[in-house]
């Protein structure tokens, strides 16, 4: 772990997870670590596995994202996607969420709901991201359903009461039907207006689009004409 509270990066205690794919962590308003995950384990601030914090279903480049429940001081969601198993042809777990109570166990936390499906029976891609809603209170969580013809990006709205699918965005591929992988990454700009997708398979397809933080709508604007061979592209960042 790294702390930036002093203005410089200071290494903390060694974490207990090691992963070739994604991970996520969250801190309080003072920058103190609360917990982190590799999509499988949830580890508390003491670098111990959180109670009921095993067996999550995240297996992808962007396998997890952490969202604080709007209006709450104690509850956090971990959203996961299972994309890698889809490539291998194994049983697929789709996209799920887990609920953490950070007041349990003296502030070390407990997973109180685990592996609640957002969707099953479709192939989750290897990407998930989140961004603040236009109202500056609720949160959008965006993930992709994998298929050969189009991109389908689901925009879920996280409020203080529920997690709801609000918008299903179907976006035309540059290379429909010419796809051998779902090694995808997505990102929304911090101001919530731009959407970036990088999908790398037989052909590399990257595009910049618009995102509507009021409705969750994604519109493909322009391809990014970057010539790449079939490679992994496990991370991107978008700035405004």
Distance between alpha carbon 183 and the CA centroid of its chain, in Å?
A: 14
pLDDT at position 239 = 47
Q: Model confidence at 119, in pLDDT bands (50, 70, 90)? A: confident
Residue 228 has pLDDT above 60, yes or no: no
pLDDT at position 179 = 47
pLDDT at position 76 = 98
Closest of 195, 180, 214 to residue 88, by C-alpha: 180
Q: What is the average per-residue pLDDT within 94-108? A: 95
Share of the chain above pLDDT 70, in %: 77
DSSP readout, the chain?
-EE-TTSS-EE-SPPS---SS--EEEE-TTS-EEEEE-SS-EEETTSSBPBT------BSTT-EEEEEPTT-SSEEEEEEEB-HHHHHT-----EEEEEEETTGGGGT-EEEEEEEEEE-SS-EEEEEEEEE-TTSSSEEEEEEE--SSEEEEEEEEE-SS-EEEEEEEEEE-SSTT-----EEEEEE-TTS-EEEEEEESSSEEEEEEEE-TTT--EEEEEE------S----------
Residue 147 has pLDDT above 80, yes or no: no
Q: What is the average per-residue pLDDT within 216-234? A: 64
Highest mean pLDDT among 85-89, 92-96, 152-156: 152-156
Residue 62 has pLDDT above 90, yes or no: no
* pLDDT, tens only, 194-220: 998 876 554 556 778 899 999 999 987
Highest mean pLDDT among 81-85, 169-173, 207-211: 207-211
* pLDDT, tens only, 174-186: 555 444 455 678 8
- Greater confidence (33 vs 203) lies with 33
Q: What is the average per-residue pLDDT within 39-61? A: 92
């Amino acid at each position: 772990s790294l702390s930036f509270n002093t203005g410089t990066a200071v290494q903390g205690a060694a974490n207990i997870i090691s992963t070739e794919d994604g991970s996520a962590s969250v801190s309080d308003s003072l920058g103190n670590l609360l917990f982190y995950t590799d999509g499988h384990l949830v580890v508390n601030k003491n670098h111990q596995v959180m109670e009921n914090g095993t067996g999550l279903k995240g297996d992808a480049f962007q396998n997890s994202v952490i969202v604080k429940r709007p209006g709450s001081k104690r509850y956090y969601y971990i959203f996961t996607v299972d994309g890698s198993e889809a490539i291998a042809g194994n049983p697929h777990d789709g996209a799920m969420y887990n609920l953490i109570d950070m007041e349990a166990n003296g502030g070390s936390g407990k997973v109180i709901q685990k592996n609640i499906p957002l969707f099953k029976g479709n192939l989750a891609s290897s990407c998930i991201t989140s961004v603040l809603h236009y109202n500056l209170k609720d949160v959008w969580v965006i993930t992709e359903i994998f298929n050969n013809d189009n991109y389908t990006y689901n925009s879920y709205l996280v409020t203080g009461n529920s997690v709801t699918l609000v918008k299903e965005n179907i976006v035309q591929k540059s290379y429909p039907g010419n796809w051998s992988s779902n090694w995808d990454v997505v990102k929304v700009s911090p101001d919530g207006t731009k959407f970036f997708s990088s999908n790398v398979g037989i052909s590399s397809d990257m595009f910049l689009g618009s995102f509507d933080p009021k409705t969750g709508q994604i519109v493909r604007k322009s391809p990014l004409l970057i010539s790449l061979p079939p490679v992994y592209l496990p991370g991107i960042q978008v700035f405004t």
